[in-house]
């Protein structure tokens, strides 16, 4: 699976949009981009995933560049509860569901009151 690069930490003011970048320049055509987050002392939580189109759900939006070499996770109106470590993961779609995700060090997002 392709490697990802994320900034180690970011701050965002409460109520503003938090934009978390991820670089995956070696991504191949059949690899999906996944985002998870981990709030302190809890298990990671799935946020969103996509292949090449932009995606939106109730938690966030995912913007993938046209060349797919980078993506941005957008939390539209950040709250204090969004303070967490955010993981960007690239994963090949496999014929049989078996989610062997490789987590990196992620981005520690701190929401400032």
Partner 1 sequence: ETGVTQTPRHLVMGMTNKKSLKCEQHLGHNAMYWYKQSAKKPLELMFVYNFKEQTENNSVPSRFSPECPNSSHLFLHLHTLQPEDSALYLCASSPGQVRSTNEKLFFGSGTQLSVL
Residue of 95, 107, 112, 113 that binds partner 1 (CB under 8 A): 95
Among 2, 14, 19, 49, the residue binding partner 1 under the rule CB under 8 A is: 49
Decide: is 97 part of the binding site for partner 1 (CB under 8 A).
yes
H or E segment at 37?
strand 31-38
Closest separation between CB of residue 29 and partner 1, Å? 14
Token pair recorded at residue 4: 């990802």
The residue from 65, 69, 102, 112 that contacts partner 1 (CB under 8 A) is: 102
* Structure token digits, residue 13: 């003011």
Count of residues engaged in binding partner 1, rule: CB under 8 A: 23
Phi then psi for 60, rounded to 5 degrees? -165, 175
- Give yes or no for a contact between 80 and 33, defined as CB atoms under 8 angstroms apart: no
DSSP 8-state class, residue 15: T
Q: SS3 for 111?
A: strand
Which residues inside 5-44 make contact with partner 1, applying CB under 8 A?
32, 36, 41-44
Residues that bind partner 1 (CB under 8 A): 32, 36, 41-46, 49, 51, 93, 95-106
């Amino acid at each position: 699976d392709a490697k990802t690069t994320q900034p180690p930490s970011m701050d965002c003011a409460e109520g503003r949009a938090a934009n978390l970048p991820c670089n995956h320049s070696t991504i191949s055509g059949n690899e999906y981009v996944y985002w998870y987050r981990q709030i302190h002392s809890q298990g990671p939580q799935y946020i969103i995933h996509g292949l090449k189109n932009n995606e939106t759900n109730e938690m966030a939006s995912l913007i993938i560049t046209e060349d797919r070499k980078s993506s941005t996770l957008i939390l539209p109106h950040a709250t204090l509860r969004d303070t967490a470590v955010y993981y960007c993961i690239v994963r090949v779609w496999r014929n049989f569901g078996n989610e062997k995700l490789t987590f990196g060090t992620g981005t520690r997002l701190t929401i400032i009151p």
